[in-house]
Amino acid sequence: MAFESLKTRQAEMWGSAPWERVAETLAPLHNHLIEELFPQAGERWLDAATGTGAVAIRAARAGAEVIGLDLAPRLVETAKRLAAEEGLAIRFDVGDCEDLPYQDASFDVVASAVGVMFAPDHGAVARELARVCRPGGRLGLASWRPNPSYSAVFEPFRRPSEPGVGDPDEWGRREHVVGLLGDAFELTFVEGSHALQGESAEAIWRLFTTAHGAFKARVESLDARDRDQLHRAFVAYLEGYSADGGVSAPDDYLLVLGTRRPAPG
């Protein structure tokens, strides 16, 4: 498996915190993706990089036959619990979206909400999403659009990526996605508006440092001085978007919607 050591760390990192608390704040994004894909009873769905199952659960509520897959076993266990609490029969698998354990053309819909964008090999992900989606089937991806002001908060504390690891921000750029998926899918794009909201900047910091596994790991990797500097920079950035009764900072996304082209020949 390519990037095996990195993926092991990613699984531990994302599973180290109760992601479902952050997923609750992303409900408008999840709802938008579901509305665009319009799940139907009996359709076979794959929710790749499902996290704690927010999209999978929404599709299953509409009657779709859903499989959710994620690299992090702890997130999969949480997704199973949340689905069971609603009485939904969703299959959740631990697995790698760069090497999906499913047959060719086995899904009517393939989806991912701010999930597959974090896989290191973008080309491998794109090939696998296309492989498992049947001709005429639907694709729906939500990815964060690049936000230079937000990224600048973290730039002084950024560590070099492993050689060959793709930049997650690229999934929020249309030209990059066309290069990855345009041959396999007839694509359309929808720009979505989202806001990072909380009662205060400090409240958002506390949420992210306790419930967002990747954010938590980044903070914990810093020494005390850098951790304090990041804390102050993050809070100052969010306080620039103070609104009546709290904070509302732009956190926009790109929906990639597609129809699987027929197989060549």
Dist CA 60 CA 113 (whole Å):
15
Q: How far apart are CA 26 and CA 94, in angstroms?
A: 22
pLDDT for res 264: 73
Q: Confidence class of residue 162 from pLDDT cuts 50, 70 and 90?
A: confident
In the chain, what percentage of residues exceed pLDDT 70? 99
Per residue in 85-102, pLDDT tens? 999 999 999 999 999 999
Q: Is the pLDDT of residue 238 over 70?
A: yes
Cα 185 to Cα 227: distance, rounded to the nearest angstrom = 43
Whole-number pLDDT of residue 140: 98
Q: How confident is the model at residue 143 (pLDDT cuts 50, 70, 90)?
A: very high
pLDDT tens across 164-184, in order?
999 999 999 999 999 999 999
The model's pLDDT over 22-38, given as tens digits with 9 standing for 90+, comes to: 999 999 999 999 999 99
Q: Which of 114, 102, 180, 181 is nearest to 141 (CA)?
A: 114
Q: How many residues are listed for the chain in this entry? A: 265
Q: How confident is residue 265, by pLDDT bands cut at 50, 70 and 90?
A: low
Pairwise CA distance, residues 178 & 122, whole Å: 12
Burial annotation 136-148 (CB, 10 A radius, 16+ → b, else e): ebbbbbbbbbbbe
Q: How confident is the model at residue 159 (pLDDT cuts 50, 70, 90)?
A: confident
pLDDT, one tens digit per residue, over 47-97 is: 999 999 999 999 999 999 999 999 999 999 999 999 999 999 999 999 999
Q: In this model, does residue 246 exceed pLDDT 60?
A: yes
- The model's pLDDT over 248-258, given as tens digits with 9 standing for 90+, comes to 999 999 999 99
Residue 154 has pLDDT above 60, yes or no: yes
Tokens 């999209």, located at residue: 55
Nearest to 214 by CA among 70, 17, 47: 17
Q: CATH assignment of 4-148+157-196+250-260?
A: 3.40.50.150
Residue 46 confidence (pLDDT) above 80: yes
Q: What is the 3-state secondary structure (H, E, C) of 178-227?
A: HHHHCCCEEEEEEEECCEEEECCHHHHHHHHHHHCHHHHHHHHCCCHHHH
End-to-end CA distance of the chain: 31
Instruction: Give 212-236 pLDDT, tens digit per residue.
Output: 999 999 999 999 999 999 999 999 9
Q: Are 247 and 238 in contact (CB under 8 A)?
A: yes
Average pLDDT score over the chain: 96
Ordered by start, the domain boundaries in the chain are 4-148+157-196+250-260
